[in-house]
Amino acid sequence: MAGLAESGSNPDVELLYDINGLAKDAPHWFDRGMEFVGEYGLLLAMVLLVLWCWWTVRRRGGGDAASSVAALVWAPLAAGIALLVNVPIRGFVERPRPFVDHQGLDVLVSGKTDFSFVSDHATLTMAMGVGLFVANRKFGLAGIGLALLEGFCRVYMGVHYPTDVVGGFALGTAVALLLSPLAMALLTPVMKAVERSPRAGWLIRARGVAPAGQESLIPGTRAELPEERDLAA
């Protein structure tokens, strides 16, 4: 993989220079904003999006509230597992950061000494976005949009090749989807036990919300609305 990046004539490197070239023409304040957004801002936005979806789920209640919350819990867990899977991938590929092999890049973040393929940020955000999509289509589309923006920012900042980002998207999506059935089988009973707890039940359903007669976010329920159908539908 490192060898593919040595020539400036391949599309991966050309796209890297095209996107990173936007940073050279942008005002200094804009680059500093992109640096914060690409390094921390979008990750924080993704966490807030998951919390917003959880707040909506628990207020809506419904007979399958526990399954809905279990799907939301899976989103950050999928991101964590994807990052762990990426550790041996990075060590096997050993692709240097683009600024190591290519001159003239405007690198917005210094101190990046680890390998480039695949992008941790792209992996994490896409895993959370796809995991969120399994729970709720509307919130999930927003999450996937944030992940795509994160991938663009990593190339814009000069710290990843475009294929690093694409690889991260593929890895995050694969982990979130392939392990979702097993995760739901394990997490749903746990969330149902939490729901029955007098002290922790509010984590699943807001106090005073009826357990039935509300729309659910998980497929296969009687109260499901068409616009809230999830990816498996």
pLDDT in tens, 171-197: 999 999 999 999 999 999 999 888 888
What pLDDT is recorded for position 209?
59
Angle (CA) 132 66 173, round 5°:
20
Cα 124 to Cα 57: distance, rounded to the nearest angstrom: 23
pLDDT score of 5 more than 60 = no
**pLDDT at residue 94 tops 80:** yes
Q: What's the CA gap between 210 and 57, in Å, rounded?
A: 13
Tell me the C-alpha distance between 131 and 108, whole Å.
Answer: 30
Q: For the segment 113-170, what is each residue's pLDDT rounded down to a tens digit?
A: 889 999 999 999 999 999 999 888 999 999 999 999 999 999 999 999 999 999 999 9
- 114 CB burial (10 A radius; 0-12, 13-18, 19+): exposed
What's phi and psi for 83, nearest 5 deg?
Answer: -65, -40
Each residue of 156-193: b (16+ CB within 10 Å) or e?
A: bbbbbbbbbbbbbbebbbbbbbebbeebbeebbeebbe
Q: Please say if the pLDDT value at position 85 is more than 90.
A: yes
